[in-house]
Structure 1
Amino acid sequence: MTRKWTRYPKRAFYAFVGPWAVGFVLLTAAPMVYGFLVSLTNFDGSSPLWRWVGFRNYVELFSDGDAWAALLRTVLFTIIIVPLSVAGSLGLAVVINRRLRAVGLWRTVFFLPSVVPVVAMAIMWKLVFNKDAGIVNAILGVVGIPPVSWLVDPTAFYALIVLMLWGVGGGMIIMLAALQGVPIELEEAARVDGASRWTVFRHVTVPMISPVIFFAVITGVIGSLQILVQPLLLTSASGIAAAGTVPNSNRFYMVQVYQEFFVDNRFGYGSAMLWVFFVVILALTVVLMRASRSWIYYEVDADAEREGATR
Structure 2
Amino acid sequence: MSDDAVSDNGALEAVPPRALAARGAAWTLQRGPRRWRRYSPWMFYAFVSPWLLGFLALTAIPMFYALGMSFTNFDGLSGHWHWVGFANYNKAWHDQHFWSGLRTTAVYGVVTVPLSLAGGLGLAVLVNRRLRAVGVFRTIFYLPSVIPVVATTLMFKLLFDRNTGLLNTVLSWFGVGAVGWLSDPWAFKIMVLLALWGLGGGMVIFLAGLQGIPAELLEAATVDGAGAWQRFRRITLPILSPVVFFQFVFATIASLQTVVQPLLLSPAVNSGAGGGFTDPTHVQAGDYLYMVHVYAQFFDYQQYGYGAALLWILFVVILVITAAILRSSSFWVYYEVEQDGKAGRR
TM-score (normalised: structure 2) = 0.84
2:184 paired residue number = 153
1:128·1:136 contact (CA, 8 Å) conserved in 2?
yes
Residues in 2 aligned to 1:55 and 1:135: alpha-carbon distance in whole angstroms:
49
Which residue of the other structure, out of 248, 254, 267, is the alignment partner of 1:217? 248
68 and 10 in structure 1: CA distance in 2 versus 1, 3 angstrom threshold:
same
1:80 paired residue number = 111
What is the CA deviation profile of residues 81-138 of structure 1, one whole-angstrom value per residue up to 9, with x for unaligned ones? 0000000000001110112221111111100100111111111000111223323334
Does the alignment pair 1:200 with 2:231?
yes
1:243 paired residue number = 278
1:95 paired residue number = 126
Task: Give the unaligned 5+ runs of structure 1.
Answer: none
238 and 76 in structure 1: CA distance in 2 versus 1, 3 angstrom threshold:
same
Deviation of 1:142 after TM superposition, in Å, equals 5.9
Does the alignment pair 1:109 with 2:144?
no
- Aligned runs of 1:104-143 on 2, under 5 Å? 104-141=135-172
Look up the equivalent residue of 1:29 and give its one-letter code.
Answer: A
Higher strand share goes to which structure?
A: 2
Deviation of 1:61 after TM superposition, in Å, equals 1.0
Which residue of the other structure, out of 301, 307, 311, is the alignment partner of 2:338? 301
Residues in 1 aligned to 2:32 and 2:147: alpha-carbon distance in whole angstroms:
50
Higher helix share goes to which structure?
A: 1
Does the alignment pair 1:15 with 2:46?
yes
1:236·1:243 contact (CA, 8 Å) conserved in 2?
no
2:337·2:343 contact (CA, 8 Å) conserved in 1?
no
1:264 paired residue number = 301
Let me know the Cα RMSD of the aligned residues: 2.2
| Greater Rg over alpha carbons, structure | 2
Residues in 1 aligned to 2:156 and 2:32: alpha-carbon distance in whole angstroms:
61
- Aligned runs of 1:147-186 on 2, under 5 Å? 147-186=178-217
Task: Give the unaligned 5+ runs of structure 2.
Answer: 1-27
Residues in 1 aligned to 2:194 and 2:69: alpha-carbon distance in whole angstroms:
35
1:280 paired residue number = 317
303 and 39 in structure 1: CA distance in 2 versus 1, 3 angstrom threshold:
closer
Deviation of 1:197 after TM superposition, in Å, equals 0.6
Deviation of 1:10 after TM superposition, in Å, equals 2.1
What is the CA deviation profile of residues 228-252 of structure 1, one whole-angstrom value per residue up to 9, with x for unaligned ones? 0000001242249821232111100
What is the CA deviation profile of residues 179-215 of structure 1, one whole-angstrom value per residue up to 9, with x for unaligned ones? 0110011111111110101110111001111111111
Question: Per the alignment, in what secondary structure is the counterpart of residue 213 of structure 2?
Answer: coil
Question: Per the alignment, in what secondary structure is the counterpart of residue 250 of structure 1?
Answer: coil
Residues in 2 aligned to 1:36 and 1:167: alpha-carbon distance in whole angstroms:
33
1:233·1:239 contact (CA, 8 Å) conserved in 2?
no
| Aligned length, in residue pairs | 307
Identity of aligned residues (%): 51
TM-score (normalised: structure 1) = 0.93
176 and 57 in structure 1: CA distance in 2 versus 1, 3 angstrom threshold:
same
1:42·1:268 contact (CA, 8 Å) conserved in 2?
yes
Residues in 1 aligned to 2:335 and 2:343: alpha-carbon distance in whole angstroms:
13
Deviation of 1:21 after TM superposition, in Å, equals 2.1
Deviation of 1:284 after TM superposition, in Å, equals 0.4
Look up the equivalent residue of 1:243 and give its one-letter code.
Answer: T
Residues in 1 aligned to 2:191 and 2:130: alpha-carbon distance in whole angstroms:
33
Residues in 1 aligned to 2:148 and 2:343: alpha-carbon distance in whole angstroms:
47
1:65 paired residue number = 96
Residues in 2 aligned to 1:304 and 1:257: alpha-carbon distance in whole angstroms:
44
303 and 290 in structure 1: CA distance in 2 versus 1, 3 angstrom threshold:
closer
Deviation of 1:25 after TM superposition, in Å, equals 1.5
Q: Which moved more, 1:11-20 or 1:181-190?
A: 11-20
2:142·2:200 contact (CA, 8 Å) conserved in 1?
yes
39 and 109 in structure 1: CA distance in 2 versus 1, 3 angstrom threshold:
same
